[in-house]
Chain A
Amino acid sequence: MDYLTVLQILDSTVRLATPLLLTCLAGLFSERAGIVDIGLEGKLLVAAFMSGAVAYVTGSIWLGLLAGIAASLVFSMIHGLASITFKGDQLISGVALNFLAAGLTVVIGQSWFALGGRTPPLSGNGRFGEWNLPFSEAWSKIPVFGPTYNELISGHTALTYIALLTVPLSWWVLYRTRFGLRLRAVGENPSAVDTAGISVVRLRYMALIIAGVLCGLAGTYLASLAAGFVKDMSAGRGYIALAALIFAKWRPWYALSATLIFGFLEAVGNRYQSISIGDFVIPVQFMQALPYILTVVILAGFIGKAIPPRAGGTPYVKER
């Protein structure tokens, strides 16, 4: 395996990790505020559909992005209505949203475009262009550094760089601002936050809004990368992001490394159908299942202990 192959695998790792990272951070914000978000998958899917549809009609992926975020926000607010306002079961609400997304995208897509649930292909400004960082061409002749800069660091779409910037930003918001402190507190001990005179409901809705925006970005990224929406195109990424969130122990920087690991697994799985170590062949199905197996192992506490936010999953009821 030569250096260029390694770079190509790493490059597609970044490509595949981007939507996972954004979705994982979305889950991070809502779960840190005490709202379990199984509906990430559904939000990803509606965002991909709406952004794909609007980008095709308007010819601009940036308008598509706005539509994708709006669609994802609507789903976030339904989740909020069910789990915050009406104090319903957050898991059931999330499961319902995933079904709604899987069904609505195809039914509406068929009605609008009559292409069996997909949108027409996106081209030109209907997709995000690749950003070539300065000097990437000129420096590509420099050994080791040149190709690394040209292949791996440069040449991604705007959303990849935005996703990477979201990591320090999330860290800063969560750990260095008053809002972040309150957000984390509301996921651990909401009655203490309430006693301090801060609205639990408002904070939790805020968290869901942030999650909605991040899922909107991730969904639009998927639609742009695949040049259009295809039925069920999120393909379980929302669940992998949830797994990565557990892997990351609900922390932003860990989320980056967790999603990069899962992206790497997917990249290797895409490139090699099966991997042989000596006489032993690792089947491709094992590579596909590996993120889920790893998550179960982590959850079982065999490698480190993942402790979720304490108030996660329970609606807050004011004492009377």
Chain B
Amino acid sequence: MQAMPKWADAVLIPLISILLAFFFSGLMILAIGKDPVVAIQTMVQGAFGSTNGLGYTLYYTTNFIFTGLAIAVAYHARLFNIGGEGQVMLGGLGVALVCLAIDWPHWTLALPAAMIGGAVFGAAWAFIPAYLQAKRGSHIVITTMMFNFIASAFVGYILLNYLKVPGSMSTESAGFSAGAHLPTFHEMLAPFGINFNKNAPANISFLIALLAAFGFWVLIWKTRLGYEIRSFGESESAAKYAGINPVRITVIAMMISGALCGLMAINNVMGEAERLIDNAPEGAGFIGIAVALMGRNHPVGIVLAALLFGFLYQGGAELTFWEAIPRELIVVIQGLVIMFTGALDNMVRIPLEKLFLALRKEEA
């Protein structure tokens, strides 16, 4: 018998966990002598108050949808991919190589090619840990973590020795050609008479992220492969008994995860920076963990959680500007969200289950 109705599991528990995380974040702001109410007002105003702010919020949201979906795919197979950061980095390299390879005539040609480049590089980077887990039994958490460091050294090396513009002071590749420029919200909405801020980095990748979320839903719940991934995650031994090849599922799930991470690079490398810079992901691969946990590994939840973190990111930047609260406050909130929605899940779940059981007994 289920102790709780389905809606409580899907909505109530995450909601309480997030409220707990925000409550402690509020205490944190109080403790450093600032006003939490003013802080929230500043953040909302900064993230949604102008099309410039909104453009940044949606730009960050796009990043987090990709990484959140990536972590969630792996998690459905009970694989904890904390190598998202490295996979995004490699994806960035793939996108940059595609964009720099030829002088693209139009973005409609450049974008699909760049998507393939990013996805292939990201998937390839995830393949090695996946293969080692499936074939040699090395723990995926440790290997993906090691691969983050290796990715950072590797991309740094390529950037410094092969892609850097000779004589330039900064460690970055040459800018991409005009044909590889992705339409921003400003350009996309202008024909409809909507004046979206010119400088905001949100671009067409946002729509691709939403498509990816839909594709994720189809893949996980409507295809044979998704069924195999989920049953492998539920019980490896049962899946094996049903004829599902564990090596195949591990490798495929991780490569889809890596490919989604790699796809993120069309937003940050191609859409925003329009060149490859050092440490381009800026932690987005790790935020994917919080987003996936909070979104309960469901695309709708992930898009909402990504929007929340996009808001926190953009609002946090405003906090630094107006209230002199360091950006790292967001990292604290991120840690609290992961702690409460992930590790301390039972702390909320057990009392709630008791409550529901007691209510049901009264009814009976």
Task: Report A's interface with B, CB cutoff 8 A.
Answer: 38, 78, 81-83, 86-93, 95-108, 110-111, 116-117, 236, 239, 242-243, 246, 283, 285-286, 288-289, 292-293, 295-296, 299-301, 308
Question: Is A299 in contact with B142, judged by CB distance below 8 angstroms?
Answer: yes
Additional pairs, 5, CB under 8 Å, beyond known A82-B343, A90-B343, A106-B328: A93-B339, A96-B336, A100-B339, A103-B330, A243-B146
Question: Is B332 in contact with A301, judged by CB distance below 8 angstroms?
Answer: no
Listed by A's residue number, 6 A-B pairs whose Cβ atoms lie within 8 Å are A92-B339, A102-B331, A103-B335, A111-B33, A293-B150, A301-B138
- Nearest CB of chain A from residue B239's CB, rounded to whole Å: 19
Which of A101, A104, A285 has most B Cβ within 10 Å?
A285
The segment from B6-14, B55-63, B153-161 found at the interface with A is B153-161
Question: Is A283 in contact with B161, judged by CB distance below 8 angstroms?
Answer: yes
Question: Is A86 in contact with B286, judged by CB distance below 8 angstroms?
Answer: no
Cβ-neighbour of A87 out of B31, B142, B149, B346 (below 8 A)? B346
Question: Is B343 in contact with A93, judged by CB distance below 8 angstroms?
Answer: yes
Contact A100 to B328, CB < 8 A, known contacts A38-B141, A107-B32, A296-B146: no
Determine the chain B residues whose CB is within 8 A of the CB of A308 once the complex forms.
Answer: 139
Determine the chain B residues whose CB is within 8 A of the CB of A106 once the complex forms.
Answer: 326, 328, 331
Contact A99 to B150, CB < 8 A, known contacts A107-B32, A117-B326, A296-B138: no
Contact A93 to B332, CB < 8 A, known contacts A107-B325, A299-B138: no
Residue of B nearest to A36 (CB): B141
In the assembled complex, the Cα of A105 lies from the Cα of B156 at a distance in Å of 27
Determine the chain A residues whose CB is within 8 A of the CB of B33 once the complex forms.
Answer: 111
In the assembled complex, the Cα of A91 lies from the Cα of B146 at a distance in Å of 15
Question: Is A283 in contact with B326, judged by CB distance below 8 angstroms?
Answer: no
Question: Is A239 in contact with B145, judged by CB distance below 8 angstroms?
Answer: yes
Q: Is the interface of B mostly helix, strand, loop or mixed?
A: helix
Question: Is A96 in contact with B138, judged by CB distance below 8 angstroms?
Answer: no
- Nearest CB of chain A from residue B263's CB, rounded to whole Å: 23
- Nearest CB of chain B from residue A101's CB, rounded to whole Å: 8
Question: Is B146 in contact with A301, judged by CB distance below 8 angstroms?
Answer: no
- Nearest CB of chain B from residue A166's CB, rounded to whole Å: 24
Question: Is A96 in contact with B342, judged by CB distance below 8 angstroms?
Answer: yes
In the assembled complex, the Cα of A95 lies from the Cα of B286 at a distance in Å of 9
- Nearest CB of chain A from residue B309's CB, rounded to whole Å: 12
Contact A91 to B141, CB < 8 A, known contacts A285-B157, A289-B149, A296-B132: yes
In the assembled complex, the Cα of A104 lies from the Cα of B32 at a distance in Å of 11
Does B28 belong to the interface (CB within 8 Å)? yes
In the assembled complex, the Cα of A91 lies from the Cα of B342 at a distance in Å of 10
Contact A86 to B146, CB < 8 A, known contacts A99-B286, A283-B157, A299-B132: no
Residue of A nearest to B149 (CB): A292
Return the CB mask of B345-358 against A: 1 if under 8 Å, else 0.
11100100000000
Determine the chain A residues whose CB is within 8 A of the CB of B150 once the complex forms.
Answer: 289, 292-293, 296
In the assembled complex, the Cα of A200 lies from the Cα of B58 at a distance in Å of 47
Contact A286 to B326, CB < 8 A, known contacts A86-B344, A243-B146: no
Does B293 belong to the interface (CB within 8 Å)? yes
Determine the chain A residues whose CB is within 8 A of the CB of B343 once the complex forms.
Answer: 82-83, 86, 88-90, 92-93, 96
Cβ-neighbour of B326 out of A81, A99, A107 (below 8 A)? A107
Enumerate the 7 nearest inter-chain pairs by beta-carbon distance, A residue then B residue, closest first: A103-B331, A99-B335, A103-B332, A93-B343, A299-B138, A100-B335, A92-B342
Question: Is A91 in contact with B136, judged by CB distance below 8 angstroms?
Answer: no
Determine the chain A residues whose CB is within 8 A of the CB of B328 once the complex forms.
Answer: 102-107, 117
Question: Is B136 in contact with A301, judged by CB distance below 8 angstroms?
Answer: yes
Question: Is A97 in contact with B335, judged by CB distance below 8 angstroms?
Answer: yes
Which of A86, A103, A111 has most B Cβ within 10 Å?
A103
Residue of A nearest to B328 (CB): A106
